[in-house]
Each structure stands twice: as C-alpha cells, then as structure tokens.
Structure 1
Amino acid sequence: MYGGYDASTGPKALVTTFNTAAVAGAVWFLFGGADTVAHWFGTDFDEAATLRRVLLAALSALYLLRFIATNFVMLQRRMEWSEASTIGVWVLVIHGTMAYFGGTNEAGVSAFTWLGVALYLFGSYLNTGSEYQRKLWKKRPENKGKLYTEGLFKYSMHINYFGDAVLFSGFALVTGTLWAFAIPLIMVCMFVFMNIPMLDKYLAERYGDAFDAYAARTAKFVPYVY
C-alpha cells in the first residue's frame, strides 16, 4: 500500500468511477429517487427539507472533486487494484448512508446543520491543504528523499487522516441523525488500528532516526492530544 510511485491510471480511474456513481446515486435519491426506492421495498420514506437535501448533495459533489484532485494531482504513490476496489465500495457506502439518513430526516435545518458544514469545510482544508503543502515541498530538489514534517503536518503526523475524520463528522452532522456517525466512527477505527500503524512502519523503515525524532515531538493523529 505504501512505497513505490507510478500513475496507477487504471486503479485510480476505477475508484473515481465508483465515487462518481456513488455521488450520482446520492443526488438521484435526494431529488426524486427516494420514492422509487421506497416502492421497491414496499414502504414510505419521509422527505428532508429542500435545504438539507441541497447541502447533502453539495457536500457529496465537493468530496468527489477533492477526491479527483487528490488521486490525479497530489497522490503520487502506486495504487493497487485491490485498494481501488475496496475504497470504491467504501465510497458507495459513505454517500449512500449520508443520502439515506439525511434525505429521510424531516427535522428542520438548525445551527447544528451549519456547524456540520463548517466542520466539513475545515476538515477538507486539513486534508487537502496538508497534502498540497507536502506536494509543493517535495517538488523542491533540495528536499528529495527527506521526511516532510512542516506545514500542517507539524501539528499531527497524520493530519490528513484527522481532516477526513473531521469532515465526515461534519457530513454526519448535516444529516441530522446519529446513525450517520457510524461512518466517521468506522473511519477513525480504520485510521488508528490499520492505516496509521502500516504507514508508520513504512516511514520508520524509510527515514529511520528522522522519523523517530518526528514521532517523539508530534501528535500521531489528533493535534496536541494523541
């Protein structure tokens, strides 16, 4: 999963196709498709306020745009077909979950909804902003082969992962339902127990003492906390 650099055009195109289909399906469900799905299962769905549905569709679309930028502009490492397939299924679950729980919530839009939007935007900045800072730094010839510890990464070794946790918590808040928080909860568990240990092992092997010094002075996931 970590190490090795190539375009991985096929796998990245596959996961982007999954993501695009997931967003299209979410938008369809939010603006008319819910009745069709309800008919399939012989039930009825409540309909969320138009503003909530518009916000949910916009957040899904924004995530897709960021995803494309990350995959084809900022992500330089190799992506395997298995990873692309796994992430592809996961984004279907994410967009489907948010569209279903948010789109069928009749509760009115409140201050918590707008707090969710703010968290989503802040988390997006932490994730994409940190990746962009690192990309610019690594383009400089004098930094070739060095460990990046600057910018937003000086506050957390995995600030990009923390950004994802924040943005999806915000996304869940916009749905107005507790059930949607299963998505950021699962994501945090995957980061803490799978992705971070694997990435730390790779970085420790590649950068040695430089990584050890970085790990000793920097929070692993949540800035100033953990």
Structure 2
Amino acid sequence: MATSSKSSSSTGQGSHNTSITDARRGNHNHSAAGTAIFIGLRPLSPIAQYQNLYRGWGPWLLSKIGASTISPMLSTPGASLSRHLLLAMSTGVTAKHIYWVLALNHEYFNPPIASLVGIGHLIFDTVASLLFLSPKTSALLTGPYISIPGTGSALSVPITLGTAMFTIGLLMETVAEAQRKQFKSNPENTGKIYTKGLWALARHVNYGGYTLWSAGYMLAAGGWAAGLFVMALLTLDFYYRPIPGLDRYMTEKYGEQ
C-alpha cells in the first residue's frame, strides 16, 4: 500500500503516483495539518490489528465475506508467537512513519496525501491480518516449521523468512533516510547529491528497503503467494511510475552528479 515516494532528494511518503510526487518534489514547506493527520491516522492500524488478531474482529470480518477462520488458533504450532510478530510489524512500521514525518521528511506533505497514506496502511495491515486468520491463505499453516530455541515454540518457514525480510528492509529504509537527512542538513552540502552510506549501494536503496519489508510483512501473514505478489507489484510500480519522474528531476537538479 503506498507510503513511499522517496529518493535521494525527496523523502515524501505518499502514493507512488508520479504526478502527485512531482507536484510536491522540491517543495520544502511544512504542512502542520498534514503532519497532524498522519500522526493521528497511523496508530489506528496497530490498534485495528490488535482487535483483528486478538479480539475477534478478524474472524467477524471474514465471516461477513463467507470465509472461515483458523480454529482453534492456539492449537497450531507457533500461533501465539506468530500473532505477536504480526502485531509488532504493524506497530514497528507505524513508529517508523511517525519518526519519519517528525524528524526525516523535508518535502511538502499535505492533508490529502497524509490521509491517503494513513488509510492505505490501515487497509494493507488489515488485509495481512485477514490472510493470516484464513485457513486457505495463512502462513501459519505452511510448513515446515523451525523451532525457536528457548521458547518451546516453532514458526513456519514463511513467517521466519518474512520476519527477517521485514526487519532488514525496515532498517535499510530508515537508516538510508537518516543518513541522507544528516547529509542534507549540512549547509556545506547544498547542491550536492548524497552517494555514500547505503546510498553507495543503489540509486534507490530506500525503495529496495520499502519493497523488502512490505513483501516480508505479507509473506509472514499470507504465505508465499501473497509475499511474491506484493514484491512483484511494488517492483513494477516503482520501476514504471516514481523512478522515471524522479530520475528526470534528479538530472535537472544535479546534472552530471
């Protein structure tokens, strides 16, 4: 679901629609309303996922569309730990986004885009929870299982791999943005493009991190098909929409750099 249209010159966290991102790229005005809306909306996602995973909202939603629910949930290996991990993912992304909008973003982030991103993540996380709770799609039921030392529990391979992808991807995206922010905050670097740190690895390393954690999240919830679908969708989306416009902008701004 869309949160990142970011680059080595833009950290706007919004739709991947090029027309939207181009309209605000280079606009460094602060939108207090956009920031307030974003901070207000983002915590709704982990709150909703807690209700979905622990308080019966998820099974109720599935019943409304004629789908069944894993039952009894706690009889499945690693069920409790897996639910904790999914809730931690939703909470972790929310914390990262609030940190981003307060400390890292320097592009115009208006109320409509803030609303779109907040609602988009609520939908994405809810879909992940529902896939996890459905016996036809749940990564919880996809063996083999890997024992977790010292816990007496086990996780399926998709949940284990998805958790690793999520952790690496979220750290990659966050660290890359923090490195760029520090570079841009130095007046001596005005007019220069940042190519060190994680940005020495790839031109769009933050897009890579975003794709990795998003696919990992969905893999840990809905298994192989869901994880591969999200990875393919985001890869194609980045390639055909924000990246071409971003490359044009960067070429105009930085030239030979």
The TM-score with structure 1 as length reference comes to 0.84
Counterpart amino acid of residue 36 in structure 1 = W
Q: Determine the C-alpha separation between the residues in 1 that align with 2:127 and 2:209.
A: 20
Contact kept, 8 Å, 1:116 with 1:174, in 2: the verdict is: yes
Matched, 1:88 2:118: yes
Q: CA deviation at 1:167?
A: 0.8
Q: CA deviation at 1:43?
A: 5.2
Contact kept, 8 Å, 1:14 with 1:85, in 2: the verdict is: yes
Q: Percent identity?
A: 26
Tell me the alpha carbon deviations over residues 5-57 of structure 1, each in whole angstroms, 9 at most, x when there is no partner: 12222113223333221221122101122233245446532255222111100
Q: What's 1:218 paired with? A: none
Q: What's 2:68 paired with? A: 44
Q: CA deviation at 1:186?
A: 2.6
Q: What's 1:198 paired with? A: 245
Q: Determine the C-alpha separation between the residues in 2 that align with 1:176 and 1:86.
A: 24
Q: Determine the C-alpha separation between the residues in 2 that align with 1:43 and 1:121.
A: 31
Q: Determine the C-alpha separation between the residues in 1 that align with 2:239 and 2:67.
A: 39
Q: What's 1:100 paired with? A: 130
* Superposition CA RMSD, Å: 2.0
Counterpart amino acid of residue 3 in structure 1 = G
Change in 2 beyond 3 A, CA 1:16/1:179: farther
Contact kept, 8 Å, 1:18 with 1:91, in 2: the verdict is: no
Q: Determine the C-alpha separation between the residues in 2 that align with 1:83 and 1:35.
A: 31
Q: CA deviation at 1:155?
A: 0.9
Counterpart amino acid of residue 181 in structure 2 = K
Q: What's 1:172 paired with? A: 218
Counterpart amino acid of residue 90 in structure 2 = S
Q: CA deviation at 1:160?
A: 0.5
Change in 2 beyond 3 A, CA 1:102/1:141: same
Q: Determine the C-alpha separation between the residues in 1 that align with 2:48 and 2:235.
A: 25
Contact kept, 8 Å, 2:48 with 2:126, in 1: the verdict is: yes
Which one has a larger percent helix, Structure 1 or Structure 2? 1
Q: Determine the C-alpha separation between the residues in 2 that align with 1:139 and 1:94.
A: 33
Q: CA deviation at 1:173?
A: 2.0
Matched, 1:72 2:113: no
Q: Determine the C-alpha separation between the residues in 2 that align with 1:22 and 1:157.
A: 31
Counterpart amino acid of residue 139 in structure 1 = S
Q: CA deviation at 1:103?
A: 3.0
Q: What's 2:28 paired with? A: 5
Q: Determine the C-alpha separation between the residues in 2 that align with 1:83 and 1:43.
A: 33
Out of 34-43 and 89-98, give the one that drifted further. 34-43
Q: Determine the C-alpha separation between the residues in 2 that align with 1:115 and 1:46.
A: 21
Q: What's 1:31 paired with? A: 54
Q: Determine the C-alpha separation between the residues in 1 that align with 2:244 and 2:112.
A: 19
Change in 2 beyond 3 A, CA 1:43/1:123: closer
Q: CA deviation at 1:198?
A: 1.8
Out of 118-127 and 30-39, give the one that drifted further. 30-39
Contact kept, 8 Å, 2:177 with 2:206, in 1: the verdict is: yes
Q: What's 2:5 paired with? A: none
Structure 1 residues without counterparts, runs of 5 or longer: 211-226
The total of aligned residue pairs comes to 210
Matched, 1:138 2:184: yes
The TM-score with structure 2 as length reference comes to 0.74
Q: Determine the C-alpha separation between the residues in 1 that align with 2:115 and 2:239.
A: 21
Counterpart amino acid of residue 162 in structure 2 = G
Counterpart amino acid of residue 144 in structure 1 = T
Out of 121-130 and 21-30, give the one that drifted further. 21-30
Change in 2 beyond 3 A, CA 1:80/1:197: farther
